[in-house]
């Protein structure tokens, strides 16, 4: 199916946010509290980590490199280029990450801070951990559909 507005419009819609993401990474602070410890513990346990993001893969790679975190990520799956229809909650990114890690999606756990992340995990047949990093996100697992919700206490 051809994109509405033509291929050039779709390229502009993709390229502008990607450029903005790369610029933002250059001034962004350190990662979310607890994220480095979680990735470190996961890595130490022998499990693999895939970064799955709505941001461009280039942006994620740049962020990880700037904060010396690249060694934690075995795979990086950003949004599908020129395919906004494959963004979360579509399971595409998580299924691709599982494939790249040579594991079944049912053996994966997606940690995310949005209901869309929980929906993505469910659609892929994966487990989900809801990360409530803001007070308004502190919902019970039954309310979000997440298998577990972890709340950041400030």
Tens place of pLDDT for every residue, the chain, 154 residues? 455 667 777 777 778 888 888 898 888 776 666 778 888 888 899 999 999 998 999 999 998 898 888 999 999 999 998 888 899 899 999 999 999 999 999 999 999 888 889 999 999 999 999 887 776 666 666 677 889 888 776 6
CA angle at residue 50 from 152 to 77, to 5 degrees?
A: 110
Q: Tell me what pLDDT residue 104 has.
A: 98
Q: Which helix (H) or strand (E) holds 131?
A: strand 127-132
Output the pTM of the full model. 0.83
Region of residue 34 (phi > 0: left; psi between -120 and 50: alpha; otherwise: beta) = left
The answer to whether the CB of 32 falls within 8 A of the CB of 45 is no
Tell me the helix, strand and coil percentages in the chain, rounded to 5: 50, 15, 40
Question: Residue 27 corresponds to which tokens in the numbers above?
Answer: 């001034």
Q: Tell me what pLDDT residue 32 has.
A: 64
Q: Tell me what pLDDT residue 14 has.
A: 77
């Amino acid at each position: 199916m051809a994109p509405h507005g033509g291929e050039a419009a779709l390229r502009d819609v993709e390229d502008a946010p990607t450029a903005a993401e790369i610029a933002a990474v250059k001034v962004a602070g350190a990662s979310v509290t607890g994220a480095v410890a979680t990735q470190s513990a996961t890595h130490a346990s022998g499990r693999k980590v895939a970064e799955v993001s709505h941001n461009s893969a280039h942006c994620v790679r740049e962020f990880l490199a700037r904060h010396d975190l690249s060694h934690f990520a075995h795979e990086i799956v950003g949004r599908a280029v020129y395919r906004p229809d494959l963004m979360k909650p579509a399971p595409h990114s998580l299924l691709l990450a599982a494939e790249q890690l040579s594991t079944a999606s049912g053996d994966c756990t997606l940690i995310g801070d949005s209901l869309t992340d929980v929906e993505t995990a469910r659609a892929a047949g994966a487990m989900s951990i809801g990360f409530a990093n803001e007070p308004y996100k502190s919902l019970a697992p039954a309310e979000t559909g997440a298998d577990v919700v972890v709340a950041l206490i400030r």
